[in-house]
Structure 1
Amino acid sequence: MPRILRFQIDTCYEGHKVIHFLRGEAGLSARLVQSLKRQPGGICLNGIQTRTIDRLHAGDILTLCLPDDTDNVEPLPLPLDRLYEDDDLLIVNKPAGLAMHPTHNHQGDTLANAVAAYFQQQGRHVTMRCVGRLDRDTSGAVVCALNRYAAARLSGGVEKEYLAIVSGRYHGSGTIDRPIVRPNPMHTSRAVGEGGLPAVTHWQAERWGENMTLVRVWLETGRTHQIRVHFASLGTPLVGDTMYGTPDERIARQALHCVSARFVHPVTGRPMYVEAPLPPDMEALCAQMDPAQE
């Protein structure tokens, strides 16, 4: 079913054109406005389809009808650990080993396929628009916008917190400020290097184990593999990271988990905070650690 959004016009928009409200207060992109204009019933003022050049008055009700999305992602029922869900958002705790979107290596066993199947069972056709992606072998919270309006409002507005287990011992807290490059366009791996994109990672030591430290991580930038590349550049790759370090018998993938997401709800304006519990493989490593000392 289409998602219906209703806005009551405030006095500050008295006499303004509909387009000014849509591009301003509502935060719609020009592309989405054009799409709604072409759709019957896409933009209505007090129940009547309106033009974007028409004028608004205080107390008017402006209604937007967002159609269901269409794409060619094949629905494939897979377990979904849902952390939060409403008409505009779905937040899941993604397991390690699950890719986000279909690729030539993963055509059907992805989060996008699982989400498509979940909503198909409800009679809905939803395109998953993830706000920030996680690597296939990184676990944790993934925020999915369920329509174009929510996606546009959330873009760049989700603050994530990560837990990583790095080799070596870290004390206190610090910042890694090193640009990241892609040395070979044919490969997915990245590296620290001159002329790269700015990348800033903040960390705080939480627990210590045998030649490893649990660190809490915050990102100022969102470069591909940023956390993995930054710690590897210091000679302390993430435990289990075979791309930037070496295999580790204690864990079968890089020890990286998105533990929380904080943002403002794109429709209601409510502050949102969602936590994703650590998976068993990282919990087992943490159980071998003691609290870090300054």
Structure 2
Amino acid sequence: MGNTNNAVCLVTGASRGIGRGIALTLLAEGARVHVTGRTVTDSQAAVHPQLEGSLDGLQVEAASLPGTLTIHVCDHADDAQTERAVADTVATDGPIDILVNNAWPGYENMVEGEDFTWIRPFWEQPMWRWRSMMDVALRAAFVSARAVAPGMVARRSGLVVNISFWAAQRYDGNAIYGIAKAAADKMAADFAHDLRPHGVAAISLYPGLVRTEAVMRNAEYFDMSNSESPQFIGHVIAGLWRDAALMDKSGGVHVAAALAQEYDIADIDGKRPVPLTL
């Protein structure tokens, strides 16, 4: 579609983790990046289930980067707030080029008290977990794309990225998680069908093991040898935006590390993660 320099990007759920990494990468490439999140200050982060990661902290990191950062405090459980974040982005910087649907409260409270409820069978899962993944994360992706699509269609240009994972295709410890990620893949595929006549792309994108704050707190339990930085997937999204054949990829499920090989992209430490497979 073009160069990310000056591209208008909206990344949902960027207080921490992959969303934060994507935002920093796009900012480093000179994009006009708008982000959403609920955790504004470090003091709020300290009592958040993920313990760290704030929009204030992101702003500090972004200060030295060439792109421009605009923060939208947004609770994606409220459709009106999601729609307002899109409208305010357009009002500030014009039509959105890239939407990254990353907001994901589904990892919060995996441990309740001292009970690791994440791995319980589906009939013992708390219903709040369904609401977090389906009624908030998945719904927010739909509402965001619904709000962004008319502008993309009018310009015949744009990219919608749903951040998903292998749980869509195999059991990965939690039935609700698998259902939500499978739905994210299907959503991207059906978005792509409707958008194709208008020259707009939609894809589902899988990271590998990402060195998020939560993963690094528990690094002793992971094999980190093939892990990815949070910024890595942002470089892949930038590569997609530059890809003249992007429409050929629209509607598909893509592994970030595989696309990085195609685009000759290395991680920020110079390593080249090996794509995971089933």
Please indicate the TM-score interval, normalised by the length of the shorter structure: under 0.3
Give the strand-richer structure, 1 or 2.
1
Superposition TM-score, scaled by structure 1 size? 0.26
Decide which structure has the larger Cα Rg and report it: 1
Give the helix-richer structure, 1 or 2.
2
